[in-house]
Amino acid sequence: MKPHSRASEQDDLLRPKLVGMIDPRHELVKLAALMDWEFFEREWAGFFPSTTGRPATSPRLVAGLMYLQHAFKLSDEAVVARWVEYPYYQHFTGETFFQHRPPIDPSSLVRWRKRIGEEGVEWLLTKTIDAGRVSGTITDDSLKRIAVDTTVMKKNIAHPTDARLYERARALLVGLANKAGIELRQSYARLAPRLVIRVGRYAHARQFKRMKKALRRLKGYTGRARRDLRCHLQEIPESPLRERVLDALSRVGRLLEQGPKSKDKLYSLHEPEVDCISKGKARVRYEFGTKVSLVTTLDGGFVVGARSFPGNPYDGHTLAPALEQVEILTDTRPDLVVVDRGYRGHGVETSHVLISGQRRGLTPVLAKLLKRRSAIEPEIGHMKSDGRLARCPLKGSIGDAVFAVLCACGHNIRKILAHIRALWTSVILLILRIIVVDNRPFRIPLAA
């Protein structure tokens, strides 16, 4: 059912209003006034076509919680718990009176993300861009000069060693067999975990022959459990459990058949879309997750585009879709795009693209703007350290797409809040400068 409208403000003499408890000069109060909350009330109602059932939660509450959790690096449980403690959070999400209980269960945010999808979170990013324009954080001219770069958003998985994957696969098959009431000939519940420990010890001692021998034995345990369960597959009736068993058998078979240099390797049983990406870093040779393309303005580092690209495509092939997203979100086609050398051969002709190291056709102005290309690197670092881009906890490729855009929303919120704080500080300094000049009272001269 469609979300219910916010309750009308009623005079309650026993309950103080939030506006009387908070400082109207606080940055969250000012940011709440800049956001177009009615847009979410109107547009997100289309995601609820049914007219029966319990009304959904207020879209402003959900949008505000998503903004806050990615701006301040909070989980679903943490942002709901902090919402109860901080009146500024409650005012930002549209509350009139101070509330003493959580507004929703944290699991409601999971269902909302699934329902709105990538389109809904892109609307969240669009409204942060509009708020940045209204607040003066960005200008229309700055949207025409952008920088584009890619990074790796790691998935929330353990480091994929062969021993761990084989043991997890064996445990998964044994667990599904127990749920289906099938008794396997041997589960290897005692031998397999001990063998995993031995593999790690052999690798640490650089005894690689013993390690490979133990790995082959562990792989054999997993293969025997798979064959045994496949023989009893006819005993499982048609049900969701049978679908889970078939899916597990397929993934485990893919795991057992892959080699050291196979393409489309499986690095996680519960996240089969994870890619192994090498970005040339000295401290981290390989990262396991998905590639994310980020677009920021050259002036200010405001994020105007974020999109995930599963399958680890070439950077040059991601430039055209990234610019298309920027044009949709900002209603502005960039005139100048600055990228690194990994984007050579991009094939984009709608905008002027400058590649790092380029010398031909550079005017002094373009050469100065090209030096600003590296300014996107610290912005990505802040999105990973101050935000949540470092590790994605959402499931599947859809979760990657949604999470990347939400991280961009959080970065823009932090930018706007910093701009509001700096603006208020400059106003205070200006007032002090007017009151006192050279340690003497300032008197306004009378007109002649």
Q: How far apart are CA 53 and CA 49, in angstroms?
A: 11
Number of domains in the chain: 3
Residue 263 inside a domain? The answer is no
Report how far apart, in Å, the C-alpha atoms of 86 and of each of 98, 99, 200, 311 are. 9, 10, 47, 41
Q: Are residues 148 and 188 in the same domain?
A: no
Q: Are residues 226 and 308 in the same domain?
A: no
Contacts (Cβ under 8 Å, ≥6 apart) of 445: none
Q: How far apart are CA 304 and CA 133, in angstroms?
A: 12
Q: Are residues 304 and 327 in the same domain?
A: yes
Are 304 and 310 in contact by the 8 Å Cβ rule? The answer is no
Residue 42 inside a domain? The answer is yes
Average pLDDT over residues 223-249: 94
Q: What is the pLDDT of residue 432?
A: 66
Phi, psi (degrees; rounded to nearest 5) at 231: -70, -30
Confidence grade of residue 443 (pLDDT, cut at 50, 70, 90): low
Confidence grade of residue 3 (pLDDT, cut at 50, 70, 90): confident
In the structure encoding, which two tokens stand for residue 435, read together? 């009151």
In the structure encoding, which two tokens stand for residue 312, read together? 């680890």
Are 41 and 3 in contact by the 8 Å Cβ rule? The answer is yes
Q: How far apart are CA 289 and CA 43, in angstroms?
A: 32
Distance of alpha carbon 329 from its chain centroid, rounded? 17
Ramachandran sector of residue 117 (left: φ over 0; alpha: ψ -120 to 50; beta: rest)? left
Q: Are residues 292 and 392 in the same domain?
A: yes
Q: Are residues 55 and 167 in the same domain?
A: no
CATH value at residue 308: 3.30.420
Q: How far apart are CA 4 and CA 104, in angstroms?
A: 14
Q: Are residues 299 and 208 in the same domain?
A: no
Q: Are residues 39 and 175 in the same domain?
A: no
Q: What is the pTM of this model?
A: 0.89
Phi, psi (degrees; rounded to nearest 5) at 259: -110, -175
Residue 244 inside a domain? The answer is yes
Q: What is the pLDDT of residue 9?
A: 46
Q: How far apart are CA 300 and CA 321, in angstroms?
A: 23
Residue 266 inside a domain? The answer is no
Q: Are residues 367 and 287 in the same domain?
A: yes
Tokens 């959904």, residue located: 56
What is the number of other CB atoms lying within 10 angstroms of the CB of residue 325? 19
Q: Are residues 198 and 279 in the same domain?
A: no
Average pLDDT over residues 9-25: 76
Are 146 and 297 in contact by the 8 Å Cβ rule? The answer is yes
Q: Quick one: CA dihedral 244, 249, 250, 255, positive or negative?
A: positive
Are 415 and 72 in contact by the 8 Å Cβ rule? The answer is no
For 295, the 3-state DSSP assignment is: strand
Question: How high is the mean pLDDT of the chain?
Answer: 90
Q: Are residues 231 and 286 in the same domain?
A: no
Domain that holds residue 344: 143-157+275-411
Residue 6 inside a domain? The answer is no
Over pLDDT 70: what percentage of the chain?
A: 94
Distance of alpha carbon 302 from its chain centroid, rounded? 16
Query: What is the DSSP secondary structure assignment for residue 332, as one 8-state letter?
Result: -
Q: How far apart are CA 439 and CA 84, in angstroms?
A: 46
Residue 390 inside a domain? The answer is yes
Model pLDDT for residues 309-364, shown as the tens digit of each residue: 999 999 999 999 999 999 999 999 999 999 999 999 888 888 999 999 888 878 89
Instruction: List the one residue out of 412, 140, 346, 390 whose CA is nearest residue 338.
Output: 346
Q: Are residues 281 and 406 in the same domain?
A: yes
Q: Are residues 287 and 399 in the same domain?
A: yes
Q: How far apart are CA 302 and CA 132, in angstroms?
A: 9
Task: Say whether pLDDT at 2 is over 80.
Answer: no
Residue 337 inside a domain? The answer is yes
Over pLDDT 90: what percentage of the chain?
A: 75
Q: How far apart are CA 41 and CA 218, in angstroms?
A: 55
Residue 137 inside a domain? The answer is no
